[in-house]
Amino acid sequence: MKKAIRMDEKDNVATALVGLAAGDEVEVISSNRQVMQLVTARDALPLGHKIALTNLPEGAVVTKYGAAIGKASKDISVGDYVHIHNVRSDRLPLTEHMLGLK
Amino acid sequence: MEFRGFERPNNLVGVRNTVLVMAVCDCGEPAARQMAGGIEGAVPVTQYHGCIAMETVPTLVGVAKNPNVAGTLLVAMGCEGLQPEPLREEIAKAGKPVEVVNIQGVGSTRRAIARGSRMVRDMAERAKKQQRKPCDVSRLVVGVKCGGSDTTSGIAANPAIGIMSDMLIDTGGSVVMIEPIEAIGAEETLAARAVNEAAKQQILRWIGDEEKRWTVPGASVDFMCAGNIQGGLTTLEEKSLGAIHKSGHRPIKGVLRNREDDLESVPPGGGLYLQEGIHLELHAMTSMAAAGVHIIVFATGTGGSFGHAICPLVKVTGNPETWARMSEDMDVNASTIMEGKESIESVGKRIFDEVVAVASGKLTTGEQLGFYNFAVWKRDPRLEALLALR
């Protein structure tokens, strides 16, 4: 089964260890390689990108490595692809230059 | 747990027995290179900032004092502002051989090379007589660094190196992490690990000052780029947390000063320290070497074929493709984490074992190639003054 890794027990997102397709059932493992939960991917996402492990209402803190990495900028459901389209940084807003658009 | 190292004066221990042939500035560098040529254990280095770069003195002294160095030959042209005698006096405090060859003083570059070469050969022969002896692992000082990072670095290599950091500190050893630019966005997490209020303030200033240096209006840099985002990093917080993961989870005892007039050594007694400095790989490695680091563990996604003049470099990749293509340039394979075949803890233990083996003399991939890169970072006192960071 395809795997995603949850870096810390407090995390509400996991990082895909392989590319995922919508509908894939994904095994979420801990850093100690224990299977922690199963989640069904609702979107396709590439290796190294994140999938939601819980529902995250708009404004909820997104946690990876046991720490806040930003806040949900819209409602996120379990299994959703979590990236710049639904999370914003509390520290540094993205600019068009950073996105390579300017 | 023990490794086999070289006892040095002042109760220090080294993991290598290098004879350093140090041109105090770039004009003496070709001569220094020839003096070291063909002599086992001799490594030529210089700083490429010119002959009045007094800001490099603490680093040059620090690397010569590094316990991996058995002795140092200073090579001077003779007319430089950065004179070798004060360097020699300072380096001599480490209780190891240190000598000077002055090319203009000798009066002929060829004769100076011949004389210097004899001195290097002499030091190398004396160094060779020294035997490795069992030393407790608690005496090891390891630096952690990443470069050529990719999506796998924050998931596999850095977290596994963090396990190594925790293991070494738990046995009484020391770990140093440099590159404050990588910590911008992870202030709270790092500050929360400070052993006391003074260390907390040092950490916040370490990051805050670096942010000011890179956000000068009209000349600022982006802390996130399109490549980061394509790799899956959503926010600066996420990127920074992945980078600082290589420092592990133990309390941070403080920030080591690394300035044009003051370079602080890693204090005895073990624990985790941060160090002021730049993130550029080789410059950062030299800064850590100057503070007394023995071995540097380097996380890389893309791979890389370099070594360091003073510190053996243990290269760790979490990228399965890099491992497949460049395994002969890598020291530890962390890509098993990406493949779901091995836990981060298990890879961390293998990195720790590799560090101990390298400390006892196992050659790293960079050393097998005979690569001894060296670069010196020079803080710009004028920028510091303009930004009121002094």
pLDDT digits (tens, 9 = 90+) for B210-255: 999 999 999 889 999 998 999 999 999 999 999 999 999 999 999 9
Q: Token pair of B81, please?
A: 């502002």
What does DSSP assign to residue A6?
-
The Cα B123–Cα B22 span in angstroms is 14
- The answer to whether residue A61 is domain-embedded is yes
Residues of chain B contacting residue A7, judged by C-beta atoms under 8 Å apart: 155, 159
Task: Please report whether residue B116 resides in a domain.
Answer: yes
Query: What ipTM does this complex have?
Result: 0.97
Residue ranges of E strands in chain B: 2-8, 12-14, 18-23, 42-46, 69-76, 98-102, 133-136, 141-146, 174-177, 252-256, 258-259, 262-263, 271-275, 295-300, 313-317, 332-333
Contacting A residues, span 40-79, partner chain B, CB-CB under 8 Å: 46-50, 62, 64-65, 67-70
The residue range of the domain holding A50 is 2-88
pLDDT of residue B51: 93
pLDDT in tens, B28-83: 999 999 999 999 999 999 999 999 999 999 999 999 999 999 999 999 999 999 99
Check residue B390 and give its pLDDT: 76
Nearest CA in chain B to A102: B226
Chain A partners within 8 Å of B241 (Cβ): 64-65, 67, 69
Question: Residue B6: which of B99, B94, B131, B176 has the closest Cα?
Answer: B131
Nearest CA in chain B to A87: B234
| Residues B114 and B174 occupy one common structural domain | no
Give the pTM.
0.96
Query: pLDDT digits over A60-75, tens only?
Result: 999 999 999 999 999 9
Q: What is the DSSP string of A57-69?
A: -TTPEEEETTEEE
pLDDT tier at B296, thresholds 50, 70, 90: very high
**Contact state of B340 with A31 under an 8 Å Cβ cutoff:** no
Spell out which residues of chain B touch residue A1, defining contact as CB-CB under 8 Å.
Answer: none
Q: Which helix (H) or strand (E) holds A70?
A: strand A67-72
Mutation target among A31, A90, A101 for the B interface, most CBs of B within 10 A? A31
Q: Which residues lie across from A13 on neighbouring strands? A: A52
Question: Where is the domain boundary, B129, B163, B198?
Answer: B129
Q: Are residues B118 and B141 in the same domain?
A: no
User: Do A82 and A13 contact (CB within 8 A), yes or no?
Assistant: yes
Residues of B in contact with A100 (CB under 8 A): 225-226
Interface test with B, best of A1, A18, A20, A33 (most B CBs within 10 A): A33
Do residue B325 and residue B184 come from a single domain?
yes
Q: Is residue B12 situated within a structural domain?
A: no
Residue ending a domain, among B106, B129, B152, is B129
The answer to whether residue B379 sits within a structural domain is no
- A81 inside domain: yes
Structural domain total, chain A: 1
pLDDT at A96 over 90: no
What does the pLDDT read at residue A100? 82
In this structure, the answer to whether residues B276 and B169 fall within a common structural domain is yes
B230, B235, B238, B242 alpha-carbon torsion, rounded to 10°: 50
Q: What are the tens digits of pLDDT across the range B116-154?
A: 999 999 999 999 999 999 999 999 999 999 998 899 999
Q: Are residues B159 and B275 in the same domain?
A: yes
Which of A98, A101, A102 is the best residue to mutate to test the B interface, defined by the most B CB atoms within 10 Å of its own CB? Answer: A98
Contact A31 B234 (CB under 8 A): no
Contact A89 B237 (CB under 8 A): yes
Tell me what pLDDT residue B204 has. 98
- Judge whether B43 lies within some domain: yes
The reply to whether B176 and B101 lie within a common domain is no
Residue A64 belongs to a domain: yes
**Cβ of A15 and B340 within 8 Å?**
no
- Rounded Cα–Cα distance for residues A56 and B66 (Å): 51
CATH number reported for the structural domain that contains residue A33 in this entry: 2.30.130.110
Shared-domain flag, residues B341 and B204: yes
Rounded to a whole number of angstroms, the distance from the CA of A13 to the nearest CA of chain B is 12
Q: Bridge partners of B275?
A: B256
In chain B, residues with a C-beta closer than 8 Å to the C-beta of A29 are 340
How many domains, in total, are found in chain B? 2
Same domain? For B156 and B116 the reply is: no
B46 and B116 share a domain?
yes
In a domain, A93, yes or no: no
Q: Is the per-residue pLDDT at A102 higher than 80? A: no
- Judged against a pLDDT cut of 90, whether residue B282 lies above it is answered with yes
Q: Which of B129, B151, B170 is the last residue of a domain?
A: B129
pLDDT for res A101: 78
| Whole-number pLDDT of residue A97 | 86
Residue A44 falls within a domain, yes or no? yes
Statement to judge: residues B45 and B92 lie in one domain: yes
With an 8 Å Cβ cutoff, are B188 and A90 in contact?
A: no
B353 inside 8 A of chain A by CB: no
Nearest CB partner across the interface for A48, out of B155, B189, B343:
B155
Where is A26: in which H helix or E strand? strand A25-29
Domain coverage including residue B269? 137-368
**What is the percentage of chain B residues whose pLDDT exceeds 70?**
100
**How many CB atoms within 10 Å of residue B138?**
17
Residue A99 domain-assigned (yes or no)? no
* Cβ pair B225:A87 closer than 8 A: no
